[in-house]
Chain A
Amino acid sequence: MTCNLSFGVRVNADKKFISKTRQTERILEVRVQAPRAHEQEKRPPLNLAIVLDRSGSMQGMKLEYVKKAASHVLDQLTEQDQVALVVYDDHIQVIANSMKVTHGNRVEMKRLISEITSGSMTNLGEGYLSGCREIAASARQETINRTLLLTDGLANVGITDEEVLAKHALELYNESISTSTFGVGNDFNEHLLEAMASRGGGNFYYIATPDRIPEIFLQEFNNLVGITARKVEVRLDLPPNVEWKVLGGWPAEYKEGRLHLSVGDMLTGKLQDIYIKLQVPGDDKTEELALNAKAFGQGKDSEVLEGQAMIGFQCTTQEEVEAALPDQELMQRFGEVELADEATEALKLERKGEREEAERWMRASIDRHRRHMSASQVHQYEDLSSSMAAGMSEEERKRAHWDSYNLKRRKENPEEK
Chain B
Amino acid sequence: MTAEELLIHKLAERASVSVRTIRYYIEEGLLPQPRYEGRYSYYTLAFLDRLELIRRLKDTYLPLSEIREIMNSLTDQEVRRRLLQSPSPSPKFSKQPPAPQAKTKPGTRALEYIDRVMDEQNIYRTKGTKEKSLPAAEHEPHPLFRTAIVQPAPTPTPAEETWQRIQLAPGVELHLRSPLDRTIEKQVQQMIYLARQIFHK
Q: Known contacts A157-B166, A171-B94, A254-B18: does B189 contact A176 (CB below 8 Å)?
A: no
Contacts of B199 in A (CB 8 A): none
Partner of A138, one of B12, B19, B107, B176: B107
Query: In the complex, are the beta carbons of A90 and B178 less than 8 A apart?
Result: yes
Q: Known contacts A59-B182, A154-B193: does B61 contact A171 (CB below 8 Å)?
A: no
Query: In the complex, are the beta carbons of B147 and A160 less than 8 A apart?
Result: yes
Q: Which residue of B lies closest to A131 (CB)?
A: B114
Q: Which residue of B lies closest to A23 (CB)?
A: B39
B109 at the interface (CB under 8 A from A): yes
Interface 1/0 per residue, B5-32 and A, CB below 8 Å = 0000100110000111000000000000
Distance between A206 CB and nearest chain B CB, rounded to angstroms:
19
Contacts of A132 in B (CB 8 A): 110, 114
Interface-located stretch among A37-45, A118-126, A364-372, A385-393: A118-126
Distance between A115 CB and nearest chain B CB, rounded to angstroms:
17
Interface 1/0 per residue, A141-156 and B, CB below 8 Å = 1010100000001101
Interface 1/0 per residue, A12-37 and B, CB below 8 Å = 00000000000000000000000000
8 Å CB interface, B138-164 against A: 147, 149, 164
Interface 1/0 per residue, A164-193 and B, CB below 8 Å = 100110011011110000000001000000
Partner of B107, one of A118, A177, A245, A254: A177
Bound-state Cα–Cα, A120 to B194, Å: 19
Distance between B6 CB and nearest chain A CB, rounded to angstroms:
13
A158 at the interface (CB under 8 A from B): yes
Query: In the complex, are the beta carbons of A139 and B113 less than 8 A apart?
Result: no
Q: Which residue of A lies closest to B115 (CB)?
A: A133
Query: In the complex, are the beta carbons of A241 and B117 less than 8 A apart?
Result: no
Query: In the complex, are the beta carbons of B20 and A122 less than 8 A apart?
Result: no
Bound-state Cα–Cα, A172 to B116, Å: 12
Partner of B179, one of A56, A126, A136: A56
A349 at the interface (CB under 8 A from B): no
Contacts of B117 in A (CB 8 A): 129, 159, 168
Distance between B148 CB and nearest chain A CB, rounded to angstroms:
9
Query: In the complex, are the beta carbons of B114 and A129 less than 8 A apart?
Result: yes
Bound-state Cα–Cα, A90 to B180, Å: 11
Query: In the complex, are the beta carbons of B164 and A90 less than 8 A apart?
Result: yes
Query: In the complex, are the beta carbons of A172 and B114 less than 8 A apart?
Result: yes
Contacts of A158 in B (CB 8 A): 121, 149
Distance between A384 CB and nearest chain B CB, rounded to angstroms:
24
Contacts of A55 in B (CB 8 A): 185
List of 5 A-B pairs having minimum Cβ-Cβ separation, nearest first: A139-B107, A161-B63, A175-B110, A136-B110, A136-B107
Residues in A lying within 8 Å of B, measured CB to CB: 55-57, 59, 90, 118-122, 125-126, 129, 132-133, 135-141, 143, 145, 153-154, 156-161, 163-164, 167-168, 171-172, 174-177, 187, 240-241, 243-245, 253-254, 352
